[in-house]
Every structure is written in structure tokens, then in C-alpha cells.
Structure 1
Amino acid sequence: MSKYFLGIDTSCYTTSIAVVDEEGRLIVEKRKILEVKKGNRGLRQSEGVFQHMKNFPDLYEKVCNEIDHLRIAKVCCSSRPRNLEDSYMPVFLSGLSFGKVIASSLNVPFEKYSHQEGHIEAARWSAGASFKDPFIALHISGGTTELLKVERSKNRYECEIIGGTKDISAGQLIDRIGVMMGLRFPAGKELDQISTECEVTKIKLPVSTRGTYINFSGVETFTKRLLEEGDEAIPDIAKALFVCIYNSLSKVICESCSKYKINKILITGGVASNGFLRDNLYRELSTKGIDIYFGKAEFCTDNAVGTALLGRYK
């Protein structure tokens, strides 16, 4: 019988559990998004930990109802945001605690990975990307917009930050504008839907890039002013925001590929599930000789699949 590998990820906004087998097939996956009160722009870490503690037992019970848990050969967990010594967030302690207990009760190995490594592996797996290292990865999520030069080291990913944002992330920009429009946090999915009501917008938001880095705070200020003045339609503003993000990302991706002489890029993170960004980045970068890979949309958002997959290599 094939062995199973259990992955756990307790990020800032999602409790996730996944099981894969030795061949890298996804056997079962369960997730629950943490609840954020309307009007709030996020959760305190303590509230995130509390919700993970409530969610996890129910999700794990559902997983065990669908598999023979005695076939679990290893438990793998996201323990911190990045694979760096000073990278830390309390929410990941929830998954660590449950993971250690499960591994101990089953008498199987327990391994820790970073949340970012899990994102990269899930995207690479779901995109069917088999390119050789090194490659460039763009991680765009609620709290992160980073360009990374990536190489695999055994069953880990060594990630060097080579670009990204100097201030707020693309996800923070989207969520802050969305909440100001009256949308629930996180606002990306709903704002994306609203933007489809406008095919072409005459609004031009400022693009601020320097080399491989972006500044989004000026865009936030400009967009908030438009909303306060009330002269422009909401769908037009939403479309203009995504056009601005697309143009900004396209510029720094091209710059990084040219600087590091790498023409393969993998894009992951919650913001990478946005249809407008995916379609336009693919079209633009492909014409410039850059091979672009997106993880499937459901595996760009926070999940434990990548963490489980990393565990089967060692």
C-alpha cells in the first residue's frame, strides 16, 4: 500500500490540511478560511491562533474519515512565513502544535517547512512545471509581494529575494481599497468580479517601479482620493487598480529576468489567482520570450498541499 504524507498550514487567514501519496497524487484536502468582521482590514495574530485551534480538530476528523490514517508515514507543517531564521508569526504555532501531537501519536517523522516553500511547491506541482533550477518565482499574496531567485536544495527551496515591493504588498493594496469600497476582507475575489463590469477604463493610476522593486503606497493614496471624490464609477476604479498592478508586476518581472539571465518564472500566492492578472501577464511576458507558469488558481491561495508534497522527497 502507498504511504501517505500529511501537510498542515495555519496561515494568517486559512486553516489547511492535505494528504498526498508517494507518487504526488492529492488524496484529500480540507481548508477553512478564517472569519474577519465586515469593515475590518484583517485579524490580530491572537484571533488567528484562536480560530485555527477551533478549526483544526474538525478538519482533521474529516480527513481521517476519508483515509486510513495509519498509512500516514510523515507529518509536515509550515512553521514560519519564510525559510529564514528571523521569520516568525504566531499563527503557525497552531499547526506546529497539532502536527507534533499527530506525528507523536502515529510514531512517524515530523518535518517543518516555510509557508513560502509550500506555495512554490504547490504552484510548481499544479502547473506541471518540470524546468530546471534556478528559476524566478513571484510570490504575490495578502502580505507578500516578492521576486525570488529559487534553487532546490534536497527537499527544500533556497530563496533569494531579488525584488518585490518596498512598502505595501499587492494584496494589501487590493484589500485596503476593497474595504474602503465596502467589501469584506479579504476583498480580492469580490473586487475582481466588480472589475469585470468595466471592459476598458480611462483612469490611469501611477506606476512606480525602480529596477526590480515597486512602490504601491502612492497608488493607494491616489485611488482613495478617487473614491472620496466620487466622480468615477467603482468598476472603472477596480479595473484601473488591476491594470496598475499588472503593469507594475510586468515591469519588475522583465527587469529581473534580464538582470539574472533567467527566462522562466513561476507565479504563486493568493493574488495570482486573479483572472485579469493571469491573462495579461501571460500574454505580455510570452511575447518577450519569458516562459511563465501559474499554479492552478485553487493552489495559488493558501493551502497545505505544497507542504505535504515537500515531505515526500526526503
Structure 2
Amino acid sequence: MARVLGIDTSNYTTSVCLYDMVREEIRQEKKLLPVKEQAIGLKQSDAVFHHTVQLPGLMEALALDGPVDAIGVSTRPRSVEGSYMPCFLVGEGTARSLAAALHAPLFRFSHQDGHVMAALYSSGSMELLDGRFLAFHVSGGTTEALLVTPQGDGFGCECVAKTLDLNAGQVIDRVGVMLGLAFPAGRGLDALAGECEQEFRVRPAMKGLDCCLSGLQNQCETRFSQGEERRAVAKYCLCYVAAALEEMTAGLLQQYGPLPLLYAGGVMSNSYIRARFTKRFGARFADPAFSSDNAAGVALLAARAFLAKNPS
């Protein structure tokens, strides 16, 4: 029985995953980091502390009931030079200790690579690993479009478009908290916007294929202060984010041709954005359970790396 353990300690979620390569079964345990009411984020020192507290309990809940053949862990936000966040040290330290104790090989990946792999798996799109495709990673920490190219037992990600200021998830969280929603506010804003039938025509701020989202927060604050309904402000926020991502997508398809499109990250689990992009682009999305931060992607990547080194 070949089984792989995945660990991910991102900025807002502690998660572990056990992937059975024979049965092709995934078991996950994950828990959001606690954020004080009305706060819009965490200090890295607090994130490290909460991961340290939460990770043992999640490992216990995962209930490893047999051997582990390999371990995968996210060690950095993205696969670029200088990409670093202290919170990933908690997962990496645990993974190194387990690998040494279990005499299991350890494979390191970026958090972003894990998101892309989780989206491929959960959308039933693993065949995309045979060629180039465009993948969007849209969350509180990242808003990037990636040109993904297969490389050995994994893939390479080249950033070809991005936000120039705030990330989409940051804006959604800030607007959501302003509207009285709990942090992280993505799910609450989605539900609130669903109560509004109005459609907004917006012109997002773009510089080439890159977007600028900081002005959106100011526009939402102004609308709310002028008495616009909460549900309308929520819908406007999502319409703006969707319009920006649409312009990025359309421009990239024009530049690179009709490559397959894959969307990952917590923002892309939004029901309004998913419906809009599915209709226009026929895009593929991570299943909602695999859209937010999770350890499944790094477990799947580690499984591919393990099989490449142990083909029999």
C-alpha cells in the first residue's frame, strides 16, 4: 500500500492530507487559524503560534493507521526566488521530523503549486499535465495568472499577469468585514451578494494584462457610506473582481492562444464568479473543498514525485 502524507501551513489554514495511491482516496483535516472579531488578518508570529497549536490535533484526527511511504510539504508561497513566509516553517519542521522518524522521502513544494495540483485533481483535469495551460491562483495572498508547463514529475509556473496592489481576496475580506461579516469573508460575501439581483457594469483599472484592485475598496466604502444596501455593495465588489479577472483572461487567451483554463484559490470558489466564467470561457475550477488552502495538492505532487523515483 503506497500512501503519502501532505502538510500545508498557510497564512490562514492548517491542513493535513493522506493520499492512498492504490485506492486513489484522499482524507483531509484542516482548520482555519483564529482571527479576532473585526480583524482583517494575522501577524506572522501569531500564525506560527496557531499552526504550532493546531497541527498536532489535526494529525491525531487524521488517524494514521499504517505506514507512510512519502511526505509532501509546502515550504514557501510561490516557486520564485525570495518567496518566504515564516508560517510555512511549522509545516516544514513537522514534515522533516516525520520523514526522519519514518525513514520516508520528503518532497518540498510551493503553496501555489499545491493549489494548482489540487485544482487539476478535483476538477478531473489531470490530463492537462501533458501540455501547457493557464492557471489562475486567486486568494487573499495571491492574484496571479500562471503559464504552466510540465517539467519532469511536476510543472513550472511562470507568472504572466497579476495584481499590482491588493489581492482579490484581500479586497473581498476588507469589504466583507466593513459590511459586518466575519473574517475570512469570502463565503459570507458570496451569500450576501446572492440576495442582490442587480448587475453592475464596471470598468476595472488595468495596466496591460495586470489589474489594480485597491480602488475597489475605496469605491465600496464610498457606496456603503452613502447608504447603498449591504447586498448591493457585496454584489458590486464581486462584479468588479470578476470583470478584472475576465479582462486578464481574455487578454491572455489572445496572447497565448486557446489554452485550457484552470482556476484555483479561495476566491474562485465564489458561486457568482464560477458561473460567469464557466459560461464565457468554459473554464475548469477546483472543487470548493479543494479551492481554499489545503494539503491535498502537495500530497498529490509528492505522490507523483515518489512514483517517478519508484516506477515499479
* TM-score for the superposition, normalised by structure 2: 0.94
Q: Write the letter of the residue equivalent to 2:113.
A: E
Q: What residue is the counterpart of 1:28 in the other structure?
A: 27
Aligned match for 2:213, one of 216, 220, 224: 216
Q: Write the letter of the residue equivalent to 1:175.
A: D
Q: Aligned pair 1:46/2:37, yes or no? A: no
Q: CA deviation at 1:216?
A: 0.8
In structure 2, distance between residues paired with 1:60 and 1:114 = 21
Q: Aligned pair 1:264/2:253, yes or no? A: no
Q: Aligned pair 1:74/2:70, yes or no? A: yes
Q: What residue is the counterpart of 1:192 in the other structure?
A: 190
Residues 200-246 of structure 1, C-alpha deviations (whole Å, 9 max, x = no match):
24x5554112331111111211111111222x111011111111111
Q: CA deviation at 1:284?
A: 1.5
In structure 1, distance between residues paired with 2:203 and 2:215 = 7
Query: Against the structure 1 CA distance between its residues 261 and 205, is the aligned structure 2 distance closer, same or farther, given a 3 Å change threshold?
Result: closer
Q: What residue is the counterpart of 2:286 in the other structure?
A: 295
Q: Write the letter of the residue equivalent to 1:169.
A: N
When structure 1 is superposed on structure 2, of 293-302 and 176-185 the one drifting more is: 176-185
Whether the aligned pair in 2 keeps the contact of 1:155 and 1:311 (CA below 8 Å) is no
In structure 1, distance between residues paired with 2:62 and 2:40 = 31
Whether the aligned pair in 1 keeps the contact of 2:148 and 2:158 (CA below 8 Å) is yes
Q: What residue is the counterpart of 2:224 in the other structure?
A: 227
Residues 147-205 of structure 1, C-alpha deviations (whole Å, 9 max, x = no match):
0000121223211110021111110110111111122111111111111111124x555
Q: What residue is the counterpart of 2:2 in the other structure?
A: 3
Whether the aligned pair in 2 keeps the contact of 1:250 and 1:284 (CA below 8 Å) is no
Residues 87-112 of structure 1, C-alpha deviations (whole Å, 9 max, x = no match):
00000000011111111111111111
In structure 2, distance between residues paired with 1:105 and 1:158 = 31
In structure 1, distance between residues paired with 2:113 and 2:22 = 19
In structure 1, distance between residues paired with 2:278 and 2:23 = 27
Q: Aligned pair 1:170/2:161, yes or no? A: no
Number of aligned positions between the proteins: 303
Q: What residue is the counterpart of 1:310 in the other structure?
A: 301
In structure 1, distance between residues paired with 2:23 and 2:113 = 16
In structure 2, distance between residues paired with 1:18 and 1:24 = 15
In structure 2, distance between residues paired with 1:133 and 1:223 = 40
In structure 2, distance between residues paired with 1:304 and 1:157 = 17
In structure 2, distance between residues paired with 1:111 and 1:234 = 45
Structure 1 stretches of 4+ with a deviation exceeding 6 A read: none
Alignment of 1:5-154 (within 5 A): 5-23=4-22, 25-64=24-63, 67-70=64-67, 72-129=68-125, 130-131=127-128, 132-154=130-152
Q: Percent identity?
A: 37
Q: Write the letter of the residue equivalent to 2:38.
A: G
Q: CA deviation at 1:266?
A: 0.6
In structure 1, distance between residues paired with 2:97 and 2:118 = 25
Q: What residue ranges of structure 2 are gaps of 5+ in the alignment?
A: 306-312
Q: CA deviation at 1:69?
A: 3.3
Q: Write the letter of the residue equivalent to 1:227.
A: F
In structure 2, distance between residues paired with 1:148 and 1:3 = 31
In structure 1, distance between residues paired with 2:258 and 2:95 = 37
Residues 97-145 of structure 1, C-alpha deviations (whole Å, 9 max, x = no match):
1111111111111111000000000000111111332110000001111
Q: CA deviation at 1:302?
A: 0.3
In structure 1, distance between residues paired with 2:110 and 2:251 = 27
In structure 2, distance between residues paired with 1:27 and 1:250 = 32
RMSD of aligned C-alpha atoms?
Answer: 1.3
In structure 2, distance between residues paired with 1:85 and 1:172 = 23
Q: What residue is the counterpart of 1:289 in the other structure?
A: none
Query: Against the structure 1 CA distance between its residues 23 and 279, is the aligned structure 2 distance closer, same or farther, given a 3 Å change threshold?
Result: farther
* TM-score for the superposition, normalised by structure 1: 0.93
In structure 1, distance between residues paired with 2:276 and 2:27 = 32
Q: CA deviation at 1:25?
A: 1.8
